[in-house]
Amino acid sequence: MIILQPIAEAQTFSFIPRVTEDGEYEISIIDEYTNKEIYNVTYQSNNTWGVSYYYQYTDVFDLKKDNHYTLKIKKGGSVVFRDKIFCTDQTPLPQYDINKHVYTTKSTSNEYITIDD
């Protein structure tokens, strides 16, 4: 999950696409509540957005506080990266963990047979 803020300043997110080659990439953000596309840009990659083993993208996004969004990055009509975006104004940005404070007990049906000599 990508965490961004509802600010009118440039923000950067990192991602690892399935395809890493030069060319046009379409980046779109869809509001999950209204199911409307709120951001769409075609980006011409010439391998300048790659950092080590991942890519970074920076722009100003018009996001609303406490909303969830879907990020899709396409190359040649095929989706090469998909993720969720959560917009929050909390500082410092919280570290979310989907398994935090969740404990699952596991049961077993092992039966032991003992043999007496």
Sequence ranges of the domains in the chain: 2-87
Sign of the Cα pseudo-torsion (87, 92, 96, 101, in order): negative
For 85, the token pair is: 């975006």
CATH topology of domain 2-87: Immunoglobulin-like (2.60.40)
Tell me which of 29-33, 40-44, 87-91, 107-111 is least confident: 107-111
- Per-residue pLDDT reduced to its tens digit, 58-111: 999 999 999 999 999 999 889 999 999 999 988 766 665 666 666 666 666 767
- Per-residue pLDDT reduced to its tens digit, 97-117: 666 666 666 666 767 667 776
